Structure 1
Amino acid sequence: MTLHPQVAAALASMPAPPPGPLDPVAMRAAEEAQVPPVAERLPLHAVEDRTVTTPAGDVPVRVYTPAESDAYGLLVYFHGGAFFLGSLETHDHIARSLATATGLRVVSVGYRRAPEAAFPAGLQDCYGVVRWAAEHGEELAWDGRTLAVAGDSSGGTFVAAVAAMAADDGFDRITHQVLFYPSLDLDLDVDRYASLRENAEGYGLETAGLKPFNAFYLDSGADPADPLVSPIKRADLADLPPALVVTAEHDPLRDEGELYGRRLQEAGVDATVSRYAGANHGFVVNFSWIPEFSRVFQETADFLKRS
């Protein structure tokens, strides 16, 4: 299927990026400027900003409560942004949509970003918040059953890495992992997956842009050979929680996500791979208002209802 016409039109209207090296500060400011005011966002029963204490330090989080209830399942969400972009604000709409669709209390993590924070700071923040959520279940009115982790793009990298860290630590409370078009192999050889060639140009995220976008993270000490950096390199995927891996047809990262899903299945993990036709990388963040793509939230909800 060709790229969805509304996505194609939006990409065609975007200005060319400025020449020269990437400027994290300017790019973050541009992202934040696009965030709609609170009054225009999807309403929920409660949204609370707070800071939680973890072994990695104090971490800002935003807690989304979809409706009043005596108990909730929990979903801990890690935003995307190539490890240096994205924030609680820029991905607020995803957290709100996840809370509404799933009925779970969502905890969105404002983890430390590269280049200011070296690897593994952001990953440790994410894992620390998951452990905090389990340890503070009474405070969060956790039902003691569902404790899911979800993330998009580089947030999906953190989902896979956190699930692996938990397995290695014997922490078995994570019940589900949801990865939206994840980045799972930071070895930036363009011949490693066919989708890197097939979707190299014209779909938003371009293969040539992967190296400069990931450079902030890799230059901070993240080794692509490390399975916590490139989760697809983990030898043993058994004993990981059930997974939903959502990929986009026109995404350079499509094939590594789908390979990861197959490897999970081969390891005996209950894993579903769902490719969205006509979609590009980032569609959950940028184009989930399109009906063909908005079903991703209901698909996530249906997956999380499985035991």
Structure 2
Amino acid sequence: MVVDRSWEITSGVPAARPVRAARMVLAVRGPGGPAVIVLDADSDTFATVPGLPAHLAPETVSLSDDGARLVCTARQDDGAGPPRVVLHTLATGERQEFVSDDYLRAALSPDGDRLAVLADLSDGPGIPGVGDEVAGVVLIDTGTGGRRTLWAAEGYWEEASISWSPDGQRLAATYLTLDDVLITVVLDLSGKETASFPERVALPGPHSVWASERELIVYPEPDDESPLIAIDVPTGAERRFTRRSYDGYLAISAGRVVRPGSAPGRLVTADLDDGDERPFLAVDPQVTIEALDIVA
């Protein structure tokens, strides 16, 4: 597992090259500008992904479950026009693109057949209290390009999070209601809202949310201490962990959280109670991490 050891990226951004599959992806911004870096699943070395869109939104970067494809949103190559969801095959550079004015963030299903896309379905200008503000989830068939609106509710994507359960049968998404309450909802593939958890927020990385087919890992909002919480989705029962550090959560994998360490450019892992801290990733020269997704 990626979180079982420590890693280093030294001497700047790694060389760009294709890889068959990746175990981890980082979207970073450093002295040389933005870059998307993957951990090669075959060699356990880092590589920069070549040939990505010029106007990629780094905070939206994630991986498919098999690590073979990168998922992101991006503006058109000239920086204008509507956003597009991009599926980028790491080995070949082949792209699939799905364009809409409404798309904000996407996650690929475990079988790779469907994209779940956070969509702004509002008629208004996106200003709270002005116009008809609607947050939605759209499903896209990656084979045919067919799409349908799965679910919609009055509100905004203030905290953008969308993730598939490991069995591909449910989705979790976090949105902000018109009353300024952050809610994480669980949807089945018919669009039925099977659970709703007010003041519970999921991390943006799609592989950081579901601990199992029935358990979510979230954090409370508002709450200055923001300890992690495990929710049993069928019953709503909660287990609250403890927190010793108040640096932001970046990712969760295999029962461990990734967060900034005490030194610049250093990440650490800890258990969900914020104990058993271990070095995880050192980046030199220092960069800002815009997104982190771990699949293995």
- TM-score, normalization by structure 2: 0.30
Q: Which has the higher strand share?
A: 2
Q: Which has the higher helix share?
A: 1
